[in-house]
Amino acid sequence: DLVHMKALYFDGPYGEMVREEEIPEELRVQAERWREKMLDHASLYSDDLIEAVLEDRVEPSLIHSAIREATLKRELIPVFLGSAYRNMGVQPLLDGVCHYLPSPRDRENRALDIEDSNRELPLIPEPNAPLVSLVFKLELRPFGQLSYLRIYQGRLRRGDEITNMRTGKRIRVGRLLRMHADEMEDIEEAIAGEIVALFGIDCNSGDTFTDGRVRYSMFSFITPPPVVSLSVKTKRQHDMERLSKAIWRFKKEDPTFSFHVDKETGQTLISGMGELHLDIYLERMKREYGLELETGPPQVAYRETITKRAKFNYLHRKQTGGAGQYGRVAGYMEPCDEEYEFINRIRGGLIPSEFIPAVDKGFRMCLKKGLLDGYPVKGIRVVIDDGAYHSVDSSEIAFIQAAMGAFKQAYMKASPILLEPLMKVVVECPSEFQGSVMASLNQRRGIILGCIEDGIRGTIEAEVPLSEMFGYATQLRSITQGKAEFSMEFLRYEKMPAKVYERLKKEGKINKKRGR
């Protein structure tokens, strides 16, 4: 503890007894050197601390105040050492939360007023204000769903009626819980700034609950698209039901985890934000559900897009003896920055307005599987400016089929290409391994964005295609003697270089053409 210059020992079977002793003599010089560094940085945010350092009268309260000021500005990060697994260092960490992290009064939170065109309004962290709370986590337990809420404004009591702003449903609060790891404590009420849990309420992550006096909605979670998929099946056929329960549970708990069944192969594919993300869920399936699983190789969530404008003019006509099908759509498709854009420029009733949504639906259905390699399509604008209908034979189904035919007619003429997910990769490593780490990222088609180092450790930031990051954890351990770590998050989709496309195609890492 560099603030109080004490050595901390954790006694008892659960590390619950914290014992303070003098710092051992062999560590004294090192501790004083690091304390001096801490004071140098912290004093940049407090004139009082600078004065105290110069006069050699530094009090812990002055250090706490300076570190808190810097932390609230997000310019310093307090670091605590310990192990939750071994119950060591937990108490100082919790003290640090109280000393340094912002209270609800230190940060302004805002909500959208549903009744006033979603105008942003500040929330007041006062218990007497109307209740506004946000569901930020779901946990499915054997006895029901546990929903975690943060109360941003007002108070919540056991027995209160609250309203889900997404669905409009009112529910009564049965049990109001304060969670201590896996232990639940029943409480009577909670106020602004507290985190509580409710049992058995029907909601999703990101839902806003109010007491009905205001119609506010908190900002929705931003859920990035999944970038990695892999096939999963049970070794024993009779375990399929348990696998299904596990997957549905995890999907409910985690919006970034998803799954679907491939209609052509019948395989169950789970998708997430990276290798580690899916590995964690596979391990949970084995541990919590006792499943023996077989998995396929990871698959990257590529996308397709078009690169130039292409016209279409497609007539769908089908006669089966009774009422037939008739619909013609004409126009063009072109690249755009949006995921998908549909523009109707039909004039003079060439296609009746009631059939326009069917045309849009037909094009949307085609976006699920492109004609280049069978991946979803993004970045496409469809404009219809001509068409024809039949007073008897035209129908919604006819115009859906016409749109799908128009898509197939124009798509390959629009020069489609493959897009690959680009990841932001941050590697932290000792300075002596910095060159090796940069070289390893360059070998994986990475672009180095920057490097910060203090002579001891370096932080390297890069953009790297996801397809090149498989197995990187093993390589990084090897080249840094296990002294580095990295994080990775989705950044955007980028055009895949032609040579890389051909190589991956030969290696069988890209779908065979499907959907024609």
**What's the confidence (pLDDT) of residue 515?**
39
CB-CB contact of 157 with 188 (8 Å): yes
Give the residue numbers spanning the domain of 477. Answer: 419-506
Integer CA distances (angstroms), 104 to 37, 101, 147, 319, 406, in order: 30, 10, 21, 68, 55
514 has pLDDT over 50: no
Confidence of residue 399 (pLDDT cuts 50, 70, 90): very high
Domain assignment present for residue 389? The answer is yes
Q: Are residues 314 and 393 in the same domain?
A: yes
Domain assignment present for residue 1? The answer is no
Q: Of 340, 331, 334, 332, which Cα lies nearest the Cα of 306? A: 334
Domain assignment present for residue 513? The answer is no
Q: Are residues 492 and 441 in the same domain?
A: yes
Whole-angstrom distance, CA of residue 511 vs CA of residue 418 = 11
Q: Residue 459: left if φ>0, alpha if ψ -120 to 50, beta else—which one? A: beta
Domain assignment present for residue 514? The answer is no
Q: Are residues 267 and 329 in the same domain?
A: no
Q: What is the CATH classification number for the domain harbouring 61?
A: 3.40.50.300
Q: Are residues 432 and 398 in the same domain?
A: no
**What's the confidence (pLDDT) of residue 495?**
96
Integer CA distances (angstroms), 301 to 81, 267, 327, 363, 419, in order: 38, 16, 34, 21, 9
- How much of the chain exceeds pLDDT 70, in percent? 98
CB-CB contact of 340 with 370 (8 Å): no
263 has pLDDT over 80: no
Q: Are residues 115 and 196 in the same domain?
A: yes
Domain assignment present for residue 470? The answer is yes
Average of per-residue pLDDT values in the chain: 91
Task: Please write down the HEC assignment for all residues of 101-115.
Answer: CCCHHHCCCEEEEHH
Q: 187: buried, middle or exposed (CB in 10 Å: 19+, 13-18, 0-12)?
A: middle
Q: What is the CATH classification number for the domain harbouring 346?
A: 3.30.230.10
Domain assignment present for residue 273? The answer is yes
The residues, ordered by sequence, that sit 6+ positions from 174 with a Cβ below 8 Å of its Cβ are: 158, 198, 199, 200
Domain assignment present for residue 511? The answer is no
Q: Are residues 290 and 324 in the same domain?
A: no
Whole-angstrom distance, CA of residue 171 vs CA of residue 250 = 24
Per-residue b or e along 463-501, where b marks 16 or more CB atoms closer than 10 Å to that residue's CB: bbbbbbbbebeeebeebbeeebebebebbebeebeeeeb
Confidence of residue 46 (pLDDT cuts 50, 70, 90): very high
Comparison of pLDDT for 82 and 408, the residue scoring more: 408
Q: Out of 68-72, 320-324, 505-509, which region has the weakest mean confidence (pLDDT)?
A: 320-324
pLDDT of 458-501, one tens digit each?
Answer: 999 999 999 999 889 889 999 999 899 998 889 999 999 999 99
**What's the confidence (pLDDT) of residue 42?**
93
Q: Are residues 207 and 156 in the same domain?
A: yes
**What's the confidence (pLDDT) of residue 321?**
67
**What's the confidence (pLDDT) of residue 512?**
56
264 has pLDDT over 80: no
Residue that terminates a domain, selected from 217, 244, 277: 217
Residue that terminates a domain, selected from 253, 283, 300: 300
Per the structure, how many domains does the chain have? 5
Q: Are residues 472 and 455 in the same domain?
A: yes
Q: How many CB atoms lie within 10 A of CB 91?
A: 16
Q: Are residues 348 and 385 in the same domain?
A: yes
Residue that terminates a domain, selected from 389, 415, 441: 415
- Average pLDDT value for residue range 245-268: 86
Q: Are residues 288 and 318 in the same domain?
A: no
Confidence of residue 516 (pLDDT cuts 50, 70, 90): very low
**What's the confidence (pLDDT) of residue 374?**
92
pLDDT of 67-118, one tens digit each?
Answer: 999 999 989 999 999 888 788 899 999 999 999 999 888 888 999 999 888 8
Whole-angstrom distance, CA of residue 119 vs CA of residue 214 = 13
Which residue's entry shows tokens 């105008």?
A: 119
Q: What is the CATH classification number for the domain harbouring 459?
A: 3.30.70.240
Segment of 218-232, 310-324, 356-370 carrying the highest mean pLDDT = 356-370
Q: Are residues 472 and 426 in the same domain?
A: yes
Q: Are residues 411 and 423 in the same domain?
A: no
CB-CB contact of 429 with 484 (8 Å): yes
